[in-house]
Structures are given as structure tokens and as C-alpha cells.
A = this chain, B = another copy of it.
Amino acid sequence: METRELTYFVAVAEELHFGRAAERLGITQPPLSRAIGQLERRLGATLFERTSRQVTLTEAGAVLLQEGRAALDAVVAAERRVRRTAQALTGRPSVVLASKAGASAELLAKLLHAYDAEPGAAAVEVLLCGPGQQEGLLRDGRADVALLHRPFDSIAGFDTEELVTEGQVLVLPAGHPLSTRTSVTLAEVESLADLPQPRWPRRDGSYPDGPGPEVRDLTQLRQLVALGRTCTVLPESVRADLGETLVCVPVSDAVQVTTVIAWPPHSRSKAVAGLVRAATAG
């Protein structure tokens, strides 16, 4: 199976429409139809059920979508990492570390400081991204190592080391009735009709339904909390960079959040190893 065929298949499987998929791929529809047909013949499996009005995935197709995405990610990751190591030879080597913007800020600072002190430390490019994106960055080679937060981020398929575990706090606008409490429960948080929970984007970028505001990052979120439009439950460490207008109250029954450092399981990179060492030593 060639990566070209896989790319074509994934495009059709995602669009469920040959014409749009072809457009996305920058080719015309006929060769795409033929490529998929040929792939099906070679695999001995029907991947799509198609009428002239509708295209649906078969079970075999669903399997190929899942596995094929992983395979394609692995291929482009290989490509990117080779490019980067080649560049590294003509300059100071560098690693890309992905972290959620705003999360684990203090930990990240300490980590970078500790690693920089190591002899032969590489330049660390920090890639701050939205929640749920680090996984993809790590999988397709745009990042070499990432800070993830269990149980929110999936660590499936990566090697990890635990760094810190912390409880969660409710972040409220100052002056809210609950802001003087010493502790609240999740049930109380969810029943706050005046401060509906914010809605985060799914993998595909769409938002679930609900009354709360749509948010993409912590800066937005902080602003919306300060404006009294929402409240949110976050790991304790956010306390560090909250201003005067926001208040934290521990949530007694929220799950513990563990920050882990994660990397692709076969990483050969000395820089990644050094970062992991610096992280776990600190």
C-alpha cells in the first residue's frame, strides 16, 4: 500500500464525498475513484458503500481510517524528523517541546532552566498550542516531546514520565458568592446556572452544544471568567498567574491531574532524553 493511496483513502473517508475529496487532494474525481477501487481490489475488502447519492464507510473502511491515519502520521513524522536532524547538523541542534498554552507555566520554566544548565543542551523550541493538540503534534513529528495532562490528554502510544500530580480548583470572578468558600464540590459547580461551563472544541474543531461560551485557549477563558460569563475547573497550578479579579476555590471531588512529559516511544534523540532527565530530576 503506497502512502499516496492511503492519503487518498483518508481524504475520501473524511469527506465521504469523492468530488470534495478530489478537490482537497488537488486532483480530479475520476483518478480518485479508480485509485480507491484499485485499493479495494488489492486489499480484497470493500471500503465504502456507495450509492450515487451517498458514500458511507464499511467496517473494514473504519479500520483502515483508524490505522491508516496512524500510519500516515508515522510516515510524515519520519519525514519531518529527518529534515530537522539534517538541519540540526548545520547549526545548533534543536528540539520542539509542545505544551498547552498557559498550563504548567511554572513547571515548564523550571524544566527549561534545568535543561539549559546541562552541558551540550540543544535549543528548545517551545510550541504552545491549544488543548488536545499536543497528541497530534507529537504523533506527526511536528513536536519531539510534550507536556500532557492526564486524564485529559490521551497518552496512548507514547512513553511518559510523571512529573507532578495536583488537585483542581474552581476559578471564579472575584465577588461571586462561592468565592469565599474554602471548598466546593463538582455538583455545586455544575449547578451554577449563572456561570455555565465553557465549551472546548473537539478534535475536528466543532463545538458541542450547551449554554456556555466557546473557548479556544486559557487566555480567552480567563478573560471570560473575569467578565463573569463562565467559571471553570482547572489544575491548582493556574493560581500562579491569576490576577486580582479571579479567585480560586479547591474542588474537593475533582479528579487529580497528573502532568507528564511524553515522547514517541522510539525516540533516538539525545535532546529528548536530556529534557526527560531534566524534568524528572527537578
- Which A positions have Cβ atoms within 8 angstroms of B? 1-4, 6, 43-47, 59-60, 62-64, 66-68, 70-71, 74-79, 81-83, 85-87, 89, 141, 156-159, 264-266, 268
Q: Tell whether, in the assembled complex, residue B268 and residue A62 are in contact, meaning their CB atoms are under 8 Å apart.
A: yes
- Nearest Cβ in chain B — how far from A259, in angstroms? 20
- Nearest Cβ in chain B — how far from A7, in angstroms? 10
Using Cβ atoms and an 8 Å threshold, which residues of chain B touch A63?
Answer: 78, 81-82, 85, 268
| Residue on B nearest A82 in the bound complex, by CB | B64
- Nearest Cβ in chain B — how far from A157, in angstroms? 4
Say whether, besides A78-B6, A79-B43, A89 and B60 are in contact (CB < 8 Å).
yes
Q: Tell whether, in the assembled complex, residue B59 and residue A81 are in contact, meaning their CB atoms are under 8 Å apart.
A: no
- Nearest Cβ in chain B — how far from A214, in angstroms? 28
Compute how far the CA of A158 lies from the CA of B159 in the bound complex, rounded to whole angstroms: 9
Among B82, B156, B265, point to the contact of A60 (Cβ < 8 A): B82
> Would you give 12 A-B contacts (Cβ < 8 Å), ordered by A?
A1-B3, A1-B78, A2-B4, A6-B78, A44-B87, A60-B89, A63-B81, A63-B82, A63-B268, A66-B266, A67-B77, A157-B157
Using Cβ atoms and an 8 Å threshold, which residues of chain B touch A81?
Answer: 63-64, 67
Q: Tell whether, in the assembled complex, residue A45 and residue B86 are in contact, meaning their CB atoms are under 8 Å apart.
A: yes
Say whether, besides A66-B266, A268-B63, A78 and B86 are in contact (CB < 8 Å).
no
Compute how far the CA of A89 lies from the CA of B78 in the bound complex, rounded to whole angstroms: 34
Using Cβ atoms and an 8 Å threshold, which residues of chain B touch A60?
Answer: 82, 85-86, 89
Q: Tell whether, in the assembled complex, residue A2 and residue B3 are in contact, meaning their CB atoms are under 8 Å apart.
A: yes
Using Cβ atoms and an 8 Å threshold, which residues of chain B touch A82?
Answer: 43, 45, 47, 60, 63-64, 67
| Residue on B nearest A86 in the bound complex, by CB | B45
Nearest 4 Cβ contacts at the A-B interface: A45-B86, A156-B265, A67-B78, A71-B74
Among B1, B87, B89, B141, point to the contact of A75 (Cβ < 8 A): B1
Q: Tell whether, in the assembled complex, residue A67 and residue B266 are in contact, meaning their CB atoms are under 8 Å apart.
A: yes
- Nearest Cβ in chain B — how far from A266, in angstroms? 5
Using Cβ atoms and an 8 Å threshold, which residues of chain B touch A159?
Answer: 156-157
